[in-house]
Amino acid sequence: MNQSEIPNGPIPLSLLPDSAEIGRKGELLIGGISVDELANEYGTPLFIYDEDHLRSRCREALTALGEGTAYAGKAFLCVAMARLVTEEGLHLDVASEGELRTAIAAEVPGESIVLHGNNKSLDELSLARSYGVGRVVVDSFDELHRLQQLHQKDGLVSSILLRVTPGVEAHTHDYVSTGQNDSKFGFGIDSGAATEAVEECASSSGVDLVGIHQHIGSQVFRVDSFARALEVVVAFSEPLGLPELSVGGGLGVAYLESESAPSITEWGEMLRQACDGLGVQARVSAEPGRSIAAQAAITVYSVGTIKELPGIRTYMAVDGGFGDNPRPMLYGSGYTAFAPNRVTEDRNSITRIVGKHCESSDVIVREASLPENLGIGDLVATPVTGAYGYSMASTYNRMPRPPVLFVSQGKARLVIRGESVEDLLTLDVD
Ligand SMILES: Cc1ncc(COP(=O)(O)O)c(C=O)c1O
């Protein structure tokens, strides 16, 4: 992007959580509390989630996508989030023992849990079965065999969906594209594996096949990608006469001023029309993650070091980095930035915002426009960090993971405390 294309007006409210408002001094408030006050109290880096935004997206998803819609916990999960989605009537998609145990700790009813994973262990499957998990989305023949093996011991029968790959390339980054034939996920329709899996289910006493599942990828903006995948999957699933069809997640969200994405309501409408057009009789559900959580949060950092390279660029180093947001490094994802105490000001100064990890790839925003003359100790923030930020966080360089707050109506509550170096040291054995 050349400099003239980088937006230099104030950060648009459309990229901020729903409750974002501007205070008298030009400062940002979320959930009725100033970001500056929260940063002073909880320190930086800090994830701030607008709880009402999360709740409103859950309600929108339930209305648009129907009963049985599951929030994909991989986008962001903790006990408070698992409780929130359950209170709002959504089911919860978990994809590992850790996510499952989080759901159990939050007392999410078993029947509302959907278990995913391309390599579920016997232990994970056993835990899910003993907790009465509602749906296991089976990904491989090995998993079918494991379920049969467990059934022979405990007599339990799992209600399952089979994950199929429609052989459709979603228009998204290769690393988050999952619907193509060459994928580690699911049973290929083209190869005949999906048909074989259905036959195996029919002769397996340990599973009750109730439906088909697809997920073509993540951060998908083009509704035609979903529609094409549905055509293929429905041609496979409808003749089976199964009662359920899950279309997975994947709806893209806007991270930048220049992007726009369909709303959850528009996505639901497109799916409904496509399913009606294809004569789907099964109950259709979905698994949105990013579209519920992404825009609900911002990450707040403090500026630590500024390095001017005349004629080249200015580097602004903050107290976080790819440890709290690996998406730019993993996918080359673009973010924008703003100064939470100066949100009404134009952003005329172009800076590269970098983290403090020992890697040159530790870039948070490649070309950030910020108000002029920000200095050491000032706050900068990145919007749209509620999905696949904290959940993908690492402790590289032994940097502890930041705390996470939920704010609503003038109150803040800590939902994940900040990790300390002492926490990390507890794992070490002398
Ligand atoms: C099976 C499945 N369902 C749902 C999702 C959620 O996708 P998104 O967060 O893009 O909505 C994912 C994401 O990887 C997934 O793998």
For 223-237, write each residue's pLDDT tens digit. 778 888 899 999 999
- Residue whose CA lies nearest to ligand 1 atom number 4: 249
Mean pLDDT, range 267-290, rounded to an integer: 95
Give 217 Cα–ligand 1 centroid separation in angstroms.
7
Better-scored residue on pLDDT, 273 or 228:
273
Both 28 and 57 in a single domain?
A: no
Given 293, 325, 352, the domain boundary residue is 293
> Residue 183: pLDDT band by 50, 70, 90 thresholds?
confident
| pLDDT, position 170 | 61
Q: Is 275 assigned a catalytic role?
A: no
Classify residue 425: in a domain, yes or no. no
CATH value at residue 222: 3.20.20.10
| Count of other CB atoms within 10 angstroms of residue 311 | 5
Q: Are 162 and 135 in contact (CB under 8 A)?
A: no
Classify residue 128: in a domain, yes or no. yes
Both 288 and 309 in a single domain?
A: no
| pLDDT, position 225 | 81
Both 130 and 87 in a single domain?
A: yes
Query: Residue 91: which residues within 8 A CB-CB, separation 6 or more?
Result: 68, 69, 70, 71, 112, 113, 114, 134, 285
Q: Are 404 and 47 in contact (CB under 8 A)?
A: yes
Both 24 and 92 in a single domain?
A: no
Q: Are 15 and 257 in contact (CB under 8 A)?
A: yes
Mean pLDDT, range 272-287, rounded to an integer: 95
Classify residue 127: in a domain, yes or no. yes
Both 181 and 306 in a single domain?
A: no
Task: Please report, rounded to a whole number, the percentage of residues in the chain having pLDDT higher than 90.
Answer: 90
Q: Evaluate if residue 105 carries a pLDDT over 90.
A: yes
Please, what is the average pLDDT of the chain?
Answer: 95
Q: Evaluate if residue 171 carries a pLDDT over 70.
A: no
Q: Are 190 and 241 in contact (CB under 8 A)?
A: no
Q: Are 298 and 382 in contact (CB under 8 A)?
A: yes
Residue 345 DSSP label:
S
CATH value at residue 328: 2.40.37.10
At 276, the amino acid letter reads: D
List, for residues 368-419, the tens digit of each pLDDT value: 999 999 999 999 999 999 999 999 999 999 999 999 999 999 999 999 999 9
Q: Are 389 and 297 in contact (CB under 8 A)?
A: yes
Both 128 and 254 in a single domain?
A: yes
Tokens of 344: 């009404």
Classify residue 430: in a domain, yes or no. no
**Phi/psi zone of residue 217: left (φ > 0), alpha (ψ -120 to 50 degrees), beta?**
left
| pLDDT, position 6 | 77
| Block residue for tokens 């200015």 | 314
Instruction: Spell out which residues line ligand 1, taking CB within 6 angstroms.
Output: 72, 74-75, 93, 116, 215, 218, 248-251, 287-291
Closest CA to 406 of 53, 93, 57: 53
What is the number of structural domains in the chain? Answer: 2
Give 288 Cα–ligand 1 centroid separation in angstroms.
6
Both 383 and 332 in a single domain?
A: yes
Query: Residue 188: which residues within 8 A CB-CB, separation 6 or more?
Result: 164, 165, 167, 181, 194
Both 27 and 43 in a single domain?
A: yes
Given 293, 322, 351, the domain boundary residue is 293
Give 13 Cα–ligand 1 centroid separation in angstroms.
26
Q: Are 194 and 213 in contact (CB under 8 A)?
A: no
Both 236 and 301 in a single domain?
A: no
d(CA 166, CA 163): 10
Of 92, 113, 177, 215, best ligand 1 pocket probe by most atoms within 8 Å of the beta carbon: 215
List, for residues 184-210, the tens digit of each pLDDT value: 889 999 999 999 999 999 999 999 999
Containing domain of residue 200, as a range? 51-293
Both 55 and 10 in a single domain?
A: no
Classify residue 151: in a domain, yes or no. yes
Q: How far is C-alpha 74 from the geometric centre of its chain's CA atoms?
A: 6
> Residue 357: pLDDT band by 50, 70, 90 thresholds?
very high
Task: Give the atom of ligand 1 at the shortest distance from the alpha carbon of 220.
Answer: 10
Given 293, 310, 329, the domain boundary residue is 293
